[in-house]
Structure 1
Amino acid sequence: MISACLLNEEDDTLAIVPIKTTEPLPSDVIWLDVNQPDEEERSWLEALLVEDVPEEDEMDDIESSSRFRVGPDGVHILSLFPQRISNETHGVNMSFTMRKNLLISFREDDISIVRLLRYYIRHNKVDIRSALDILVKLQELKVDQLSDLIEDAYSTLEETSDQITDELHVDETLEELVNQEELNSQILQALHDTRRALRFIRKTFGSSLEDRQIRILDEVLTDIESILPHTSFISNKINFQLEASMGYTNQKQNSIIKIFSVAAVVFMPPTWIASVYGMNFKFMPELEWYWGYPLSIGLMIMSAAITYFFFRKKGWL
C-alpha cells in the first residue's frame, strides 16, 4: 500500500491520500509512505527510483555504511522503531530515501509512530513545511515514545518489586522481568540508532537546515542524552530484582529441603530400632519379652524426641 502526503504551498495545509500506480505522481507530494508493497507497486517504485526498492532483509543491516549513506537517489537512512504488542517488544526497521523535497519511506510492518504522525497531519496538529520536517518529526515522535516506554518500565518495576516475595505470583514476576529486560534492550538500541540518524541528518543537510530544524534536532539529541542513563538504571534494577527473586525462590526451596533432611535424620534412630527388631532371627531374646513391643515403641519415640530437641537446641529448626 502506498499513500502520499501532499503540501499545499498556498496555505501550508497537508493532506494524506492513497496513491494508485496507474496514475501519475502528484506534483505537490512531499512524502510517499510505502507499507508492504506488492509486486505491482514495487515495479512502479522501481520505475520512479534509480536504485532498487529495498528488501526486508536489506533493512536489517547494522553496519553504519548501510544504514546511513548518500546514493544516486539521494540520502538513505535506515531507522529502528520499537513496536510493543501486548507484553512483547520487537524492533522494526524503516527505510527512508530523501531526494530534494520528497521523502520516500519503506516498511514491512505497521508502525504506531507512523500512524500517529498521519493522525496529526490529518488534524493539522504538526508544523510541517517540507519533506525533511517529516523525517525529523518521525524521529522526534520516536524519542517521545521511547521516553514513555521508560516511564512505563519504572511503574512496572515498582509493581514487580512488591511481588518478589509473593509465592503465588513468582512465575508471573519472573516473566515480567524478562519482558522488561527485552524492552529495555530495544529502547537502548533504538536510542543509539536514533542518535546516529539525527547526527547524520545534521551533518548531511547542515547548510540547508533551517534554524527551527536545527533547534529541533538539538533538542531531540539532548533528550536522547538525558534518557540514556535511565536505561542503565532500569537494567540494573531489573537484574537486581531478578537476582532477588531467584534468591528468595532458592531460599524457600532450601527451607523445604531442610525440613525433609531434618525429618529424615529425626526418624533415622526409630527406623534403625524397627529394623533391628524386625529381623526375626531365631535367637533374639527380646522377642520373648512380655514388654518387648511397648519397649521398642518407647525407644523409637524417645530416640526421635532426643534427636528433635537436639536440633532445636542447635537452632537448626
Structure 2
Amino acid sequence: MITAYLYQNQSLQSIELTVSDAIPDGTLWLDVYQPEEDERQWLSSYFVEEVPEEDDFNEIEASARFYTDKDGLHINSLFPQRLGTDLKAVNVSFNLRPNLLITIREEDVGLIRLLRNYLRLGRLDAETPADLFLELFNLKVEYLSDLIEDVYTVLENVGDQALNAQELDDIFKLITMQEDANGKIRLSLLDTQRSLRYMNRYYRKQLHDDNVKDLKEMLADVDSLMPHSQFIFDKLNFLLDAAVGLSGLQQNKIIKIFSVAAVVFLPPTVIASSYGMNFANMPELDWQFGYPMALGMMLASAVGTYLFFRRKGWL
C-alpha cells in the first residue's frame, strides 16, 4: 500500500496511490506499507540506486543501516511496538531527500499512526521532509521514555511481591518479561542514538537551524535515558537474585521439615524395630504391659527429640 501525504495550509492530506499513478506535486511524505512486487517496481523508478529490501532492514552493521548516496540520506531504524503485554522492535527504512521523505516498512508502527493523527489535528507543524523525520524521531524518544517509566512501575510492584514466597512463579515471569522489554528499549535507544548522530554528522548542512536544535535536544534526551536503562538492568539482576534466593530459602524450609520429621521419628523406629524382632529370649513379649510400654517409649522418644530441637532453636 502506497500513501502520499501533502501538508498544506497547516493541514494534512493523504492520497492512496496505485502503480499507475505518479507522485503528486507537493508531496512531503511517501509511506510504503508491505509493498507488493509491482509496487516495488513502481517505486524503483524514483530511486537511482536499488529499492531497499526487507532483508536490508534487519542488517546490524552501520554501513547497511546508515548511508548516503545519490538518493539522499538512508536510515534503517528500530521502532518499539506494543503487542498486548509484549514489546516488539520493528524496522523502518527511511530515505530523506530535500523535497521528499520515503518510508518503507513491512509491519504496522503505532508511532507512524500517531504522527499522522497529530498532523491531521494540527498539533505538529511540519513544512519540510526533515521536519517530518525529526518529529517522528521525537515521538519515538518520548515513547521510549514512557516505556522506561512503565518498566520502573512494574519493577516496584515486583519488589513488593518478592517478599511473598507464594508468588515466586509470577515474579520470575514478570522479571523475564521486563528484561526482554528493557533489552528492546535499550536496543531502540542505541539505534536512535546512532541514527541521529549519523544525521548530525553527514546531513547537517541540509538542515535549518531549528532542525539542528531539535536534533541536539533529542541526542541529549537519548543520552539521559541510557543510564536509566542500565539502572533497570541492574535492578532486574538484583530482583532475579533475590527471587532465586527466596526460592532457595523456601525449598530449604521444606527440606528442613522433612529432615526434622525423619530425625524425630528415628528413635521410635529403633524401638519398634527392636521389639519387632522374633528372638526367643525377649521377656517383654510375654509381659502384660509390654505393648503399652513400647508405645510409651516410642511416644516419649519422639516428643523428647522434638522438644530438644525446639530448645536448640532449630525449629
Q: TM-score range by the shorter chain?
A: over 0.9
1:139 aligns with 2:137: yes
3-state SS of 1:94 partner: strand
| Structure 2 residues without counterparts, runs of 5 or longer | none
Moved more, 241-250 or 45-54: 45-54
Structure 1: how far apart are the matches of 2:57 and 2:227? Answer: 28
Deviations 1:104-133 (A, max 9, x none): 111111111101001111112111011111
Aligned to 2:246: 248
In the TM superposition, 1:235-274 aligns within 5 A as 235-274=233-272
Aligned to 1:296: 294
Distance 1:210 1:313, change over 3 A: same
Decide whether the 8 Å contact of 1:188 with 1:231 is kept in 2: yes
Aligned to 1:59: 57
Decide whether the 8 Å contact of 2:99 with 2:129 is kept in 1: yes
Moved more, 216-225 or 49-58: 49-58
Structure 1: how far apart are the matches of 2:305 and 2:210? Answer: 82
Structure 2: how far apart are the matches of 1:53 and 1:271? Answer: 83
Deviations 1:235-269 (A, max 9, x none): 11122122212212221221111011100110011
Q: CA deviation at 1:50?
A: 2.7
Aligned to 1:6: 6
Determine what percentage of the aligned residue pairs are the same residue: 47
The equivalent position to 2:159 in structure 1, one of 142, 158, 161, is 161
Q: CA deviation at 1:167?
A: 3.5
Deviations 1:49-103 (A, max 9, x none): 2333322222111111111011232211111111121221121111111233111
Instruction: Please report the TM-score for the alignment, with normalisation by the length of structure 2.
Output: 0.95
In the TM superposition, 1:11-30 aligns within 5 A as 11-30=9-28
Decide whether the 8 Å contact of 2:81 with 2:88 is kept in 1: yes
Q: CA deviation at 1:12?
A: 5.0
After superposition, the CA RMSD in angstroms is 1.5
In the TM superposition, 1:1-317 aligns within 5 A as 1-8=1-8, 11-317=9-315
3-state SS of 2:54 partner: coil
Moved more, 133-142 or 168-177: 168-177
Structure 2: how far apart are the matches of 1:51 and 1:152? Answer: 42
AA aligned to 1:125 is R
| Structure 1 residues without counterparts, runs of 5 or longer | none
Deviations 1:14-66 (A, max 9, x none): 32221222111112111111111122212211233233332222211111111
Deviations 1:261-287 (A, max 9, x none): 100110011111112222323443321
Moved more, 275-284 or 306-315: 275-284
Q: CA deviation at 1:13?
A: 3.7
Decide whether the 8 Å contact of 2:165 with 2:250 is kept in 1: no
Structure 1: how far apart are the matches of 2:216 and 2:125? Answer: 17
Q: CA deviation at 1:173?
A: 2.0
Decide whether the 8 Å contact of 2:4 with 2:23 is kept in 1: no
Moved more, 254-263 or 16-25: 16-25
Structure 2: how far apart are the matches of 1:264 and 1:124? Answer: 76
AA aligned to 1:228 is M
3-state SS of 1:61 partner: coil
Structure 1: how far apart are the matches of 2:27 and 2:220? Answer: 31
Structure 1: how far apart are the matches of 2:32 and 2:243? Answer: 45
Instruction: Please report the TM-score for the alignment, with normalisation by the length of structure 1.
Output: 0.95
Decide whether the 8 Å contact of 2:77 with 2:93 is kept in 1: yes
Decide whether the 8 Å contact of 1:91 with 1:186 is kept in 2: yes
